[in-house]
Structure 1
């Protein structure tokens, strides 16, 4: 499996940016990526006042490369770029392994019905 990390700095972002990003993920981004062909999963991670990140894991390096190439052409116009005022750092990586614990894997509770 092959991944991509897309990280925006929150260091100089306006107050309330992380809350606005979280609302955007809940209202739009989660649904958009739930149906992305070639994507195993995406996680949204953050450290308040430090960074906001999308971490993607794809079924193949080709799927990762295609998504990355497309995203790089529109990164300057991405909602997170507009909200943070910062360009993202984009880094591909290889997934060595994924372990799923006995409690399984689920989305945040607010996304479940």
Structure 2
């Protein structure tokens, strides 16, 4: 399997950006990537106020590399960049050594609501 990480800094992002990103992922982005050909899974990760990241795992290096090249050309104008107010600070390809499914099983869909 073949991975790609795209990360944005939230250090200078506007107030409320964490909630806006969560709403965008749950309301739009999740559906966009569900069932995407060549993609095994995508995970959205955040450290509120610090960074927001998309981590993709593809079935083939070709699928990953084609997606990465396409996204690199339009990353600054992507919905995430528009919400955050800046382009990604990192786009990095990697190899996935292994994935283990734990006893609780694999679950797709939105994560927990924000604490508070």
Q: Which bracket does the TM-score occupy, shorter chain normalised?
A: over 0.9
Alignment of 1:26-105 (within 5 A): 26-88=26-88, 89-105=90-106
Q: Which runs of 5+ in 1 are unaligned?
A: none
- Is the contact made by 2:13 and 2:84 (CA closer than 8 Å) also made in structure 1? yes
- Is the contact made by 2:26 and 2:110 (CA closer than 8 Å) also made in structure 1? no
Which SS does the other structure have where 1:11 is aligned? Answer: coil
Equivalent-residue separation in structure 2 for 1:108 and 1:70 (angstroms)? 25
Q: 1:109 to 1:80 in 2, by over 3 A?
A: closer
Q: What RMSD in Å do the two structures reach over aligned CA positions?
A: 1.1
The corresponding residue for 1:18 is 18
1:73 Cα deviation after fit: 1.3
**Residues paired across the two proteins, number:** 110
The corresponding residue for 2:114 is none
TM-score scaled by length of structure 1: 0.93
Equivalent-residue separation in structure 2 for 1:8 and 1:99 (angstroms)? 27
Which structure has more helix as a fraction of its residues? 1
Equivalent-residue separation in structure 1 for 2:86 and 2:97 (angstroms)? 30
**Runs of 4+ deviating beyond 4 Å:** none
Q: Which runs of 5+ in 2 are unaligned?
A: 112-116
1:108 Cα deviation after fit: 4.0
Q: 1:33 to 1:50 in 2, by over 3 A?
A: same
TM-score scaled by length of structure 2: 0.91
